[in-house]
Amino acid sequence: MRISPDINKNIDVFKKRLHCDLNFDIVFRSITICGRTAAMFFVDGFAKDDIIEKLMEFFYSNVEPDQLADAHTFSKACVPYCEVTLREEEEEIATGILSGELALFVDGFDRCVAIDTRTYPQRENAEPEKDRAFRGSKDAFVETLILNTALIRRRIRDPQLCMENMTVGTKSKTDLSLCYLDDKVDKKLLTNIKNRISASQVEALTMNQQSLADLLVKKKWYNPFPKFKYSERPDVCAAQILEGDIVILVDNAPYAMILPSALFDITDEVNDYYFPPITGTYLRLTRFLVTLATLLITPLWLMFLMTPQWIPDWLSFIVPKEEPHIPIIAQLLILEIAIDGLKLASLSTPSMLTTSLSVISAIVVGDFAVESGWFSAETMLYMALVAIATYTQPNFELGYAIKFMRMFLLLATWLFGAWGFFIGLIVIFLVMVSNRTVSGGCYLYPLIPLHPRDLMRKFFRVRLKSKSER
């Protein structure tokens, strides 16, 4: 519904729509501009006080009667601020006010003067907690969308860089930004993503990016592998945009979603590129090998214990010296759950007690668990290696996907022996092959379909080449 030229009607409508009698932070102020009644609505805490003071000073001293002919003339001549929009729909005006705009109504104007005076409470732009940089930039995304887009703009000064704004949620009206290079992005994928977002009928993105991910991809419950790469580093997002990917920034979320992302994209680590090619290659290969070891080490050990005739003499030490009181498979599964329990406990532990808790859980509990006969020393050793090695790859969701696949391998090996181990590997491979990225491509690209050059670049860090060398 459009607003009325009658200032009193507009005041009544928006006082009722914004519940000004209940909301202490919704500020209503009636003023007089050159003999004409006006009204301002804004949210306390979003609006910049110094800008409001300057606007009020200008309205009281510098406005002439002929400048009040209409809203357009008034906004051009009497609003000393660059970000000004004329709005006429009540819904748009109310959303703008709740987003941080100052809405100015003037008697006789059939449009509202919306002034972008917003400022959001925000934390300091500090080094990222998880995606730590060895030599790269120490800045990270924060919970304010406009600041996050500016961090990317600072790194890509190309007119082709587009920051397309969209709104999701019938009640939350959460802002998000699609960041891409117009001359490199997959236009079909971009259109598909925008259509999915526009068609989403939800009240709010309750869990920010995860809620958006649930809207974009309908995952099968048995497939835990992530389809998005998350990063809190602007340099990572800028690099992916330059490669033709789409980056989605959501307001109130200090992470960016990067898509489309296949398995090798998710395992990629930006720190490899801040070192010489040989060092970056070594770090990358180490990460791949350790990640593969976290999947195979405990199921492989269990398979050898169930088929002792396959154990060569030089590996005889892997067999427990004493008969375990609890079956090995039970020990492994209990420790899988116990490790996650310790992780959850550490999240809720005050920071001053984190070290003490780690020492108690690692030394005291671990030692007594072995001494009491609950667990064998070999089981504790292999599970400790798995728990530590999980953090060599950066993606949290992929870590749990590997964990679920490892537990599946353990159960298959326990039930069917060596045949179960190899059949389990085939099943895991088929699950990954059947998985699809957001764009519909194979999850194992460039392995399937095979692109040798792209596959080699996933394993080996190559130096940056100029256009003349390509």
Per-residue pLDDT tens over the stretch 206-232: 778 788 888 888 766 677 888 899 998
| Count of C-beta atoms within a 10 Å radius of residue 7 | 19
Cβ atoms of residues 233 and 128 within 8 Å: yes
Q: Is residue 457 part of a domain?
A: no
Q: Is residue 140 part of a domain?
A: no
Query: Is residue 340 domain-shared with residue 235, that is, in the same domain?
Result: no
161: three-class secondary structure by DSSP: strand
Q: Which candidate, 256, 238, 236, 237, places its Cα nearest to that of 248?
A: 256
Instruction: Report residue 245 as tokens.
Output: 């990917």
449: three-class secondary structure by DSSP: coil
Going by pLDDT thresholds of 50, 70 and 90, the confidence category of residue 118 is confident
Query: Is residue 222 domain-shared with residue 343, that is, in the same domain?
Result: no
Which letter, b or e, does each residue of 258-277 get, where b requires 16 or more Cβ atoms within 10 Å of its Cβ? bbbbbbbbbbbbbbbbeeee
Going by pLDDT thresholds of 50, 70 and 90, the confidence category of residue 323 is confident
Query: Is residue 287 domain-shared with residue 423, that is, in the same domain?
Result: yes
Q: Is residue 443 part of a domain?
A: no
Is the bond leading into 449 cis (omega within 30 degrees of zero)?
yes
Query: Is residue 166 domain-shared with residue 94, that is, in the same domain?
Result: no
Query: Is residue 246 domain-shared with residue 288, that is, in the same domain?
Result: no
Cβ atoms of residues 291 and 267 within 8 Å: yes
Q: Is residue 447 part of a domain?
A: no
Cβ atoms of residues 229 and 396 within 8 Å: no
226: three-class secondary structure by DSSP: coil
- Averaged pLDDT for residues 266-281: 86
Cβ atoms of residues 151 and 218 within 8 Å: no
Query: Is residue 329 domain-shared with residue 248, that is, in the same domain?
Result: no
Query: Is residue 243 domain-shared with residue 345, that is, in the same domain?
Result: no
206/181: higher pLDDT: 181
Query: Is residue 280 domain-shared with residue 255, that is, in the same domain?
Result: no
Query: Is residue 194 domain-shared with residue 306, that is, in the same domain?
Result: no
Structural domain including 397 reads: 273-434
Total domain count for the chain?
A: 3
Q: Residue 297 has what pLDDT?
A: 93
Query: Is residue 313 domain-shared with residue 236, that is, in the same domain?
Result: no
Going by pLDDT thresholds of 50, 70 and 90, the confidence category of residue 467 is low
- Averaged pLDDT for residues 101-106: 92
Q: Which candidate, 122, 152, 149, places its Cα nearest to that of 137?
A: 152
- Averaged pLDDT for residues 437-444: 88
User: Which of 237, 261, 285 is a domain's end point?
Assistant: 261
**pTM, entire model:** 0.85
Query: Is residue 422 domain-shared with residue 364, that is, in the same domain?
Result: yes
Instruction: Report residue 106 as tokens.
Output: 């003037």
DSSP structure class, residue 104: E
Query: Is residue 75 domain-shared with residue 205, that is, in the same domain?
Result: no
